Structure 1
Amino acid sequence: MNFRLATGMGILGLLLSCGTALAGTLEGPLQIVVSKDLQELKVYDGGVVVATSRVSTGKAGHSTPTGIFSILEKKRTHFSNLYDSAPMPFMQRLTWSGIALHASNSVPAYPASHGCVRLPNDFAKTLFSLTRRGGHVLISDRAVEPRRIVHEALFRPATVLPETQLLSDADLRPGLLDDGTKSVEVAMTEPVAAVPEPAVQKSEQDPIRILVTRRGEREALIDLQRLLTELGYDAGAPDGLLGRQTIAAIKAFQAAEGLAEDGRVTPELSAAVYARAGKGAPPNGRMLVRQKFKPVLEAPVTIRDAETALGTHFLLARDVDSEKGTADWYGVTMENHLPQSTMTRLGITQAADAGAPDALAKTLSRIDIPADMRIRISAMLSEGASLSISDTGLGAETGNGTDFITLTRKAPLKADAAPVRKKNRKKASSVTAVR
């Protein structure tokens, strides 16, 4: 309550300073949306715009990336180590590779920075006082706005029943081995046969970050190695690498099952291994959870109609009431044009339609999360929890000390489209890439 009161008073000062009218009761957590086409930043309290500001994003050759970001670091005083120690006061870092929000004396109404998002000094100062590390910032080529989403697939706060093993009591084992993307996986000793409706209790904890995405080739191979070993075909360490020992294990399994002994990993092989192990169909999706910028949980999920892209979506939980077991979710669908090579690799034949009014609801309806895992997530749910959905998994910007960062791609220009040239634009004096 103290945080909400302080946030509301801070926004009041921001609104008065920037001339935006106060609309309703203001409570945190806030959400920041930057629209590159409008060169504008909006601050949302739920689905309500509570403040706006002009911005200046990256110019040609230094374009500001688009996607879903979190505030990773805040510094009132910061100087660039790339551009002659250029001052970047009230810096709020979005990526460790050098993108941030910060104050500037030069904020023209067009792209002029070296990649960062420049803000007017007064606005940047007040905004800095309102945000927290981990607060979400969306950067989009075209204006988007969060809308309240009601869907049965969305999580609501709950506690684990006594019969169900608590997340804190579960054995955790290392999952992925990628640099900067280590995660842990819950290893339950026994499957949950039936999941009754959980009771609810009041919960105060740091908000979790959830990512639902497609299962990559490496994750699929790690699971295949584990299952082969469980079946008596020693595939070596489950490292996601197709080495000689894994190939030998695959050939031995193929020989035993009367399959062609080629040692190749194919959908048919995976289906046969899962069937022999009594595991059903291989999962084609995964859900990862982070808290305090650290991985805490990973679980398989099933994506139905997998040939159609999920699209890129972001949802934020507001007004989480643990006593009533309710939460309001506000969602945004972002444009993200996948290259044909990526679609082919992921088995996608139908691109997502970000402009469809029911795009987010349709995507939520295609994701099946195991009931026992849903309860564990619900037990961790608190104010400001977020859910990202993306086809492309963990990008290069997601690593140590980050939440899930999802980068989006703009549709390529057509060959006959001529670039629009800006005339008589004054060259900006300050530089804005941050390191």
Structure 2
Amino acid sequence: MMLRAFVGACLLSTSVLVQSALAGDARSMQIIVSKSEQTLSLYEDGALIATSKVSTGKPGHETPSGIFSILDKKKYHESNIYSAAPMPFMQRLTWSGIALHEGRVPNYPASHGCIRLPAKFATSLYGMTARGVHVIVSNDDVTLQTINHPNLLQPSGKPKDVLMLSDVELRPANFDSSLKLVEVAVNQTTSAIKPKVVREAEGSPLRILITRRGDREKIMDVQRLLTAIGFDAGVPDGHAGEMTVSAINGFKRWKSLKTTGPLLTDSFVDALYASAGADAAPNGQIMVRQDFKPLLEAPIHIKEPQIALGTHFFEVIDMDREHGKAQWNGLTLDNYLPASAKKRLGIETEDTTGAYDQLSAVLDRIEIPADVRRQLEAALTTGSSITVSDLSHGQETGDGTDFITITRDRS
């Protein structure tokens, strides 16, 4: 474990340069940026090894809060937005222009959205990190903590071939104008998705997102169930096209339900599941990425759906596959939900911040199907992460990214 002698020293000055020769495998590294404190904290194996002052976005050009990862690195880069402004030792967090880079750090927010670092620290940090290292940006000062919970994934022994979905292209859907974000990513396919075997030869970390189901997932279920009982709803692709709408209205007429108003009403969904002899509709979704590409998604169950999940992050910082043990840490981020979003998601109660162990409490409410758990545990590696959030990832998530979760600071 790197620089363990520094643990306990709390905030280290920016004059302490962590040697790039010690970088090795960067999968257990984590970076936390506090906008209120204007600081960056670097963790390795769960231990704080360095801190630095930073300068984040100024009013009108705020740095977004949320869960990011390093997408690209360049020793010298010029801004494509701000008159080719130099951005030495650039580490990109979004393709829309947010990055860590060397710049002027006046001890207050002064950038156009990027996170500026002092020159020496920017050089040192660049030498240590790799693509995929998580960067958490919070308005408040947050700290990672060790978390042990039976619902967290554990390695299943010797790596196996894992059956996962491939050739999945993300595209946005279900745009919520109140949040200015894309709530759900859908799989755009022209034919049935073909599974393939993905081997864990390179041991790339999994990126897992657990969230509430959106209209796209609900429509896919409706299409499958309608087809199973004799209605032609088309390919189960999550799109409410002409064939799907016709099949839904045909079922509604059969059951003497209203064909006007919202397409997917509770009475329609309940009647459809009862007619198909299916269990109650799932209310959660798990999505998985690896090497910046979609791999797998499946329905899950969230207990007490009327209570907000909040936004939480978990990551494997060490793993002993032989003994089937992964060491996880995690944190909770403040994430303001407008009233319109809560109404749409059926959220009636928000958790009281700090009233109890929020990380354990949210894990208590998540039920992952056994077959999905087995696949994930067979491919688990150090650096694998889980994000839990009421809202799905935003439009920043796409080709060449992990899941990017944008959080909203309370004004």
Do they superpose with TM above 0.5? yes
What residue is the counterpart of 1:142 in the other structure? 140
CA–CA distance in structure 2, aligned partners of residues 182 and 268 of structure 1: 25
- Secondary structure in 1 aligned to 2:271? helix
Q: Displacement, 1:135?
A: 0.5
What residue is the counterpart of 2:284 in the other structure? 285
Report the AA paired with residue 100 of structure 1: A
CA–CA distance in structure 2, aligned partners of residues 244 and 21 of structure 1: 60
Matches within 5 A, 1:83-94: 83-94=82-93
What residue is the counterpart of 2:352 in the other structure? 353
Q: Displacement, 1:258?
A: 4.7
Segments of structure 1 that go 5 or more residues without pairing to the other structure are 189-201, 413-435
After superposition, the Cα gap between the structure-2 partners of 1:251 and 1:159, relative to the gap in structure 1 and judged at 3 Å, is farther
Segments of structure 2 that go 5 or more residues without pairing to the other structure are 174-181
CA–CA distance in structure 2, aligned partners of residues 239 and 21 of structure 1: 49
What residue is the counterpart of 1:338 in the other structure? 337
User: Which 10-residue stretch deviates more, 348-357 or 227-236?
Assistant: 348-357
What residue is the counterpart of 2:367 in the other structure? 368
User: Which 10-residue stretch deviates more, 107-116 or 354-363?
Assistant: 354-363
Q: Displacement, 1:261?
A: 4.8
User: Which 10-residue stretch deviates more, 313-322 or 271-280?
Assistant: 271-280
CA–CA distance in structure 2, aligned partners of residues 128 and 173 of structure 1: 32
Percent of matched pairs sharing the same residue: 47
Per-residue CA distance 1:174-232 (angstroms, 9 max, x = gap): 586537945599889xxxxxxxxxxxxx9751001000000001221122122212221
What residue is the counterpart of 2:172 in the other structure? 178
Report the AA paired with residue 208 of structure 2: I
Q: Which has the larger radius of gyration?
A: 1
CA–CA distance in structure 1, aligned partners of residues 380 and 218 of structure 2: 28
Report the AA paired with residue 274 of structure 1: Y
CA–CA distance in structure 1, aligned partners of residues 326 and 202 of structure 2: 14
CA–CA distance in structure 2, aligned partners of residues 222 and 121 of structure 1: 51
CA–CA distance in structure 2, aligned partners of residues 16 and 229 of structure 1: 63
Report the AA paired with residue 162 of structure 2: L
After superposition, the Cα gap between the structure-2 partners of 1:159 and 1:220, relative to the gap in structure 1 and judged at 3 Å, is farther
Kept in 2: contact 1:335–1:410 (CA 8 A): yes
What residue is the counterpart of 2:317 in the other structure? 318
User: Which 10-residue stretch deviates more, 59-68 or 221-230?
Assistant: 221-230
Kept in 2: contact 1:203–1:382 (CA 8 A): no
Report the AA paired with residue 172 of structure 2: D
TM-score normalized by structure 2? 0.85
Q: Displacement, 1:20?
A: 8.2
Kept in 1: contact 2:171–2:398 (CA 8 A): no
Please provide the CA RMSD for this pair: 3.1
What residue is the counterpart of 2:162 in the other structure? 167
Q: Displacement, 1:21?
A: 10
Report the AA paired with residue 153 of structure 1: N
What residue is the counterpart of 1:224 in the other structure? 222
Q: Displacement, 1:238?
A: 3.2
Report the AA paired with residue 19 of structure 1: V
CA–CA distance in structure 1, aligned partners of residues 169 and 218 of structure 2: 12
- Secondary structure in 2 aligned to 1:342? helix
Report the AA paired with residue 340 of structure 1: A
CA–CA distance in structure 1, aligned partners of residues 369 and 95 of structure 2: 34
What residue is the counterpart of 1:70 in the other structure? 69
User: Which 10-residue stretch deviates more, 288-297 or 174-183?
Assistant: 174-183
After superposition, the Cα gap between the structure-2 partners of 1:343 and 1:74, relative to the gap in structure 1 and judged at 3 Å, is same
User: Which 10-residue stretch deviates more, 38-47 or 320-329?
Assistant: 38-47
Report the AA paired with residue 149 of structure 1: I
Aligned length: 385
Q: Determine whether 1:382 maps to 2:377.
A: no
After superposition, the Cα gap between the structure-2 partners of 1:171 and 1:138, relative to the gap in structure 1 and judged at 3 Å, is closer
Report the AA paired with residue 91 of structure 2: Q
After superposition, the Cα gap between the structure-2 partners of 1:65 and 1:173, relative to the gap in structure 1 and judged at 3 Å, is closer
CA–CA distance in structure 1, aligned partners of residues 244 and 202 of structure 2: 45
What residue is the counterpart of 2:79 in the other structure? 80
Q: Determine whether 1:275 maps to 2:274.
A: yes
Matches within 5 A, 1:29-428: 29-104=28-103, 106-158=104-156, 167-168=162-163, 178=172, 181=185, 183=187, 205-262=203-260, 264-412=263-411
- Secondary structure in 2 aligned to 1:18? coil
- Secondary structure in 2 aligned to 1:336? coil
Per-residue CA distance 1:51-74 (angstroms, 9 max, x = gap): 000000001110000000000110
Per-residue CA distance 1:217-255 (angstroms, 9 max, x = gap): 122112212221222111224343434432321232234
Q: Displacement, 1:260?
A: 4.4
CA–CA distance in structure 1, aligned partners of residues 16 and 124 of structure 2: 13
After superposition, the Cα gap between the structure-2 partners of 1:36 and 1:284, relative to the gap in structure 1 and judged at 3 Å, is same
User: Which 10-residue stretch deviates more, 134-143 or 203-212?
Assistant: 203-212
Kept in 1: contact 2:17–2:121 (CA 8 A): no
CA–CA distance in structure 2, aligned partners of residues 117 and 161 of structure 1: 38
Kept in 2: contact 1:211–1:387 (CA 8 A): yes
Kept in 2: contact 1:183–1:298 (CA 8 A): no
Q: Displacement, 1:296?
A: 0.3
After superposition, the Cα gap between the structure-2 partners of 1:177 and 1:72, relative to the gap in structure 1 and judged at 3 Å, is closer
Q: Displacement, 1:46?
A: 3.5
Q: Displacement, 1:318?
A: 1.6
What residue is the counterpart of 1:19 in the other structure? 16
Kept in 2: contact 1:186–1:297 (CA 8 A): no
Report the AA paired with residue 63 of structure 2: T
TM-score normalized by structure 1? 0.81
Q: Which has the higher strand share?
A: 2
